[in-house]
């Protein structure tokens, strides 16, 4: 219970804005509880008047009972409205906050965990947290309502009351055992469910590659294996419920028979009139509902605690590390940066960068070349602080990036990657996500610079055309050009091109090269390019091999001084 109260206090901060509605919701439930206590007493009196042929009094009470039930319906209508609003607003706040926390996670944490871990917690677990107030109100109200019936039966006959108390106690012990077993299985099930969700996400994101590789059968078999195992676990988990529901039903029928025997005995002993016996029997069927309501409430509380733990793990847990930034802010970034003896390796991998040192000056255009796996893209990732370095130091304008705040780093760097992610929204919204207050003129100018405006105008809805998940409706070159347009809108001091023109045809690449050339001298530009012909006009070229700078200079200088660079260039000439 201590854990539940702590978790409830946490969720309450996301529902504070709906405090007035929560109070009104509770008041509605209190009135419904009172009505639930009064209604059986009126019903008992109606039966007595009916057996005694007191029809005038009977008609009057019938009208009263109808009005009471109407009030119950009215209060229930308002309670449902308040419950939905409370859930909606709490869910929005919780989901938004958890989404922010997920975006703050270290990139390595995202790499190591499948997307299913975060999708399940962002959707299902936040929903369970948001519904806790409705859960408490609904089932506590049900419990109190059934207790009200208990009180009414106690007023009518104490022996029937004692019998029902014994029944409830026995059923409660059975229900507690069921919930303990079910919740332990549920904890294990959720972990497996995250794994399956991650695999399904991978299939959907990689569906085109799966088709091209003709691997549908192998992926289908693996999916079948994982889904089968998951649903067998679900079946076993639900089997616990089935066994206990069967036992519970058998006991309930036995207890119902016992209640009839008791009522007949009390009537024969003149301790109970027939009318009251009928009322007790009619309402006694609801008494076991206390046990079911308590069971559902306990299930809900344990479910709530489990979801709280899973959400807290992301928000506050040590397992899911957050990115750390400094507090120093650079109002104006010139664009100078330096790597000093930087070493880095990804988790469980060989060294990628090994004591790497180089410097880039403001408004300089520098290219990085080398074989695949040499560490070129990793340099960009470290500069953007997507990963912390293992040793060494990276500075921007002479300041260690570990001391800089997030805005000073990422607010001044634009990365255009080889495989840019295009969001499943319109072209306009893909651009607006980079710049909220974008004007039509700025958007068109950026797209013209990126040589994609003319293509956009051929689309069915122009800039309002939905491009599909991952930009599926666009070619590789079109996705790259749209990403380049997004980058032009950001207007940062440092622009990183990571194989950003690899999917472009020669003519379009020449146009993009012109656009990049127009940015030179005004921005610090770093380029990773597979085609050396695209970077020969850079101010400097760094040849990277095995995580180190093995050559540095202009294109002509490197052809003379760097054997590795010369070999790459000659190999490219042969491919033409």
pLDDT reported for residue 34: 80
Residue 9 lies in a domain: no
Both 347 and 303 in one domain: the answer is: no
Both 179 and 107 in one domain: the answer is: yes
| d(C-alpha 290, C-alpha 146), whole Å | 6
Residues in the chain: 576
Residue 449 lies in a domain: yes
Both 303 and 356 in one domain: the answer is: no
Q: Which helix (H) or strand (E) holds 95?
A: helix 55-103
Both 201 and 64 in one domain: the answer is: yes
Both 296 and 383 in one domain: the answer is: no
Residue 546 lies in a domain: yes
* Number of domains into which the chain is organized: 2
Do the Cβ atoms of 21 and 82 come closer than 8 Å? yes
Could you tell me how far CA 214 lies from the centroid of its own chain?
A: 32
**CATH number for 454:** 3.40.50.300
Both 472 and 350 in one domain: the answer is: yes
Both 303 and 342 in one domain: the answer is: no
Both 294 and 358 in one domain: the answer is: no
Domain end residue (candidates: 315, 348, 364): 315
| d(C-alpha 283, C-alpha 153), whole Å | 8
Could you identify the residue written with the tokens 């091999």? 545
Q: Positive or negative, the Cα torsion across 60, 66, 70, 75?
A: positive
Both 293 and 255 in one domain: the answer is: yes
pLDDT reported for residue 208: 58
**CATH number for 214:** 1.20.1560.10
Both 311 and 360 in one domain: the answer is: no
DSSP state of 459: S
Domain end residue (candidates: 315, 345, 363): 315
Residue 327 lies in a domain: no
Structural domain boundaries enclosing 454: 337-575
How confident is the prediction along the chain (576 residues), in pLDDT tens digits per residue?
678 888 888 888 787 777 788 888 888 878 877 887 777 777 767 766 766 667 777 788 788 888 888 888 888 888 888 888 888 888 888 888 888 888 888 888 877 776 777 887 888 888 888 888 777 777 777 777 777 777 777 877 888 888 888 888 888 888 777 777 777 777 777 777 777 777 777 776 666 556 655 667 777 777 778 888 877 877 777 777 778 778 877 887 788 888 888 888 888 888 887 777 877 777 777 666 677 777 777 777 888 888 888 888 888 878 888 888 899 998 888 889 899 999 999 887 788 899 999 999 988 999 999 888 888 889 988 998 989 899 999 999 999 999 999 888 888 888 887 777 788 788 888 888 777 778 888 889 888 888 889 889 998 888 998 887 666 778 777 888 888 888 878 778 888 888 766 666 777 677 777 767 767 777 888 998 777 777 888 889 999 988 889 999 988 888 888 888 888 887 776 665
Burial of 62 (0-12, 13-18, 19+ CB in 10 A): middle
Q: Where are the beta strands (DSSP E) in 287-412?
A: 337-345, 351-360, 365-369, 391-396, 399-400
Say what the pTM is. Answer: 0.67
| d(C-alpha 555, C-alpha 542), whole Å | 10
Residue 328 lies in a domain: no
Residue 348 lies in a domain: yes
pLDDT reported for residue 109: 81
Could you identify the residue written with the tokens 């559902």? 296
Residue 320 lies in a domain: no
Domain end residue (candidates: 252, 284, 315): 315
Burial of 530 (0-12, 13-18, 19+ CB in 10 A): middle
Burial of 304 (0-12, 13-18, 19+ CB in 10 A): buried
Both 284 and 357 in one domain: the answer is: no
Both 293 and 418 in one domain: the answer is: no
In three-state form (DSSP H/G/I as H, E/B as E, the rest C), the secondary structure along 474-493 is CCHHHHHHHHHHHHHHHCCC
Quote helix, strand, coil % in the chain, to nearest 5.
65, 10, 20
Q: Tell me the CB-side half-sphere exposure of residue 296, using CA atoms within 13 A.
A: 16
In three-state form (DSSP H/G/I as H, E/B as E, the rest C), the secondary structure along 57-92 is HHHHHHHHHHHHHHHHHHHHHHHHHHHHHHHHHHHH
Residue 310 lies in a domain: yes
């Amino acid at each position: 219970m201590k854990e539940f109260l702590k978790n409830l206090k946490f969720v309450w901060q996301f529902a504070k804005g709906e405090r007035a509605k929560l109070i009104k919701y509770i008041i509605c439930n209190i009135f419904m509880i009172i009505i639930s206590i009064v209604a059986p007493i009126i019903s008992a009196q109606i039966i007595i008047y009916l057996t005694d042929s007191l029809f005038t009094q009977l008609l009057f009470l019938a009208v009263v009972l109808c009005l009471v039930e109407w009030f119950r319906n009215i209060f229930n209508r308002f309670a449902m409205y308040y419950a939905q609003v409370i859930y909606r607003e709490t869910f929005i706040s919780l989901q938004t906050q958890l989404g922010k926390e997920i975006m703050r996670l270290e990139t390595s944490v995202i790499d190591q965990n499948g997307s299913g871990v975060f999708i399940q917690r962002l959707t299902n677990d936040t929903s369970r947290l948001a519904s806790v107030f409705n859960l408490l109100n609904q089932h506590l109200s049900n419990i109190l309502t059934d207790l009200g019936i208990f009180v009414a039966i106690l007023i009518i006959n104490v022996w029937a009351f004692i019998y029902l108390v014994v029944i409830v106690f026995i059923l409660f012990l059975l229900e507690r055992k069921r919930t303990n077993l079910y919740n332990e299985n549920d904890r294990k099930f959720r972990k497996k469910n995250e794994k399956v969700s991650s695999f399904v996400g991978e299939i959907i994101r990689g569906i085109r590659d799966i088709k091209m590789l003709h691997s549908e059968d192998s992926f289908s078999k693996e999916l079948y294996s994982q889904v089968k195992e998951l649903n067998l676990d679900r079946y076993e988990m639900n089997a616990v419920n089935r066994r206990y529901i069967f036992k519970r039903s058998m006991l309930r029928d036995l207890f119902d028979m016992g209640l009839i025997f008791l009522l007949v005995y009390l009537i024969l002993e003149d301790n109970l009139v027939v009318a009251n016996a009928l009322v007790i029997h009619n309402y006694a069927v609801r008494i076991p509902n206390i046990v079911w309501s308590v069971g559902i409430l306990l299930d809900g509380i344990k479910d709530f605690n489990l979801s709280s733990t899973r959400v807290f793990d992301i928000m506050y847990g040590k397992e899911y590390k957050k990115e750390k930034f400094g507090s120093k802010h650079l109002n104006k970034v010139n664009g100078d940066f330096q790597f000093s003896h930087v070493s880095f390796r990804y988790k469980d991998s060989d060294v990628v960068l090994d004591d790497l040192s180089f410097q880039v000056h403001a408004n300089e255009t520098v290219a990085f070349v080398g074989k695949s796996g040499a560490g070129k893209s990793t340099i960009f990732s470290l500069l953007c602080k997507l990963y912390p370095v293992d040793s060494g130091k990276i500075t921007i304008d002479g300041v260690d990036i570990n001391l800089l705040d997030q805005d000073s780093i990422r607010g001044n760097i634009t990365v255009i990657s080889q495989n840019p992610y295009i969001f499943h929204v319109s072209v306009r919204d893909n651009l607006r996500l980079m710049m909220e207050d974008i004007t039509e003129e700025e958007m068109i100018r950026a797209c013209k610079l990126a040589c994609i405006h003319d293509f956009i105008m051929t689309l069915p809805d122009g800039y309002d055309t939905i491009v599909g998940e991952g930009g599926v409706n666009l070619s590789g070159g079109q996705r790259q050009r749209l990403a380049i347009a997004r980058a032009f809108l950001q207007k940062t001091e440092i622009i990183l091109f990571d194989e950003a023109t690899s999917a472009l045809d020669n003519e379009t690449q020449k146009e993009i090269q012109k656009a990049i050339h127009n940015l030179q001298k005004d921005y610090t530009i770093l380029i990773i390019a597979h085609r050396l012909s695209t970077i020969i006009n850079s101010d400097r070229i760094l040849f990277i091999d095995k995580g180190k700078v093995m050559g540095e200079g202009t294109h002509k200088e490197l052809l003379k001084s760097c054997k590795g660079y010369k070999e790459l260039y000659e190999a490219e000439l042969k491919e033409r």
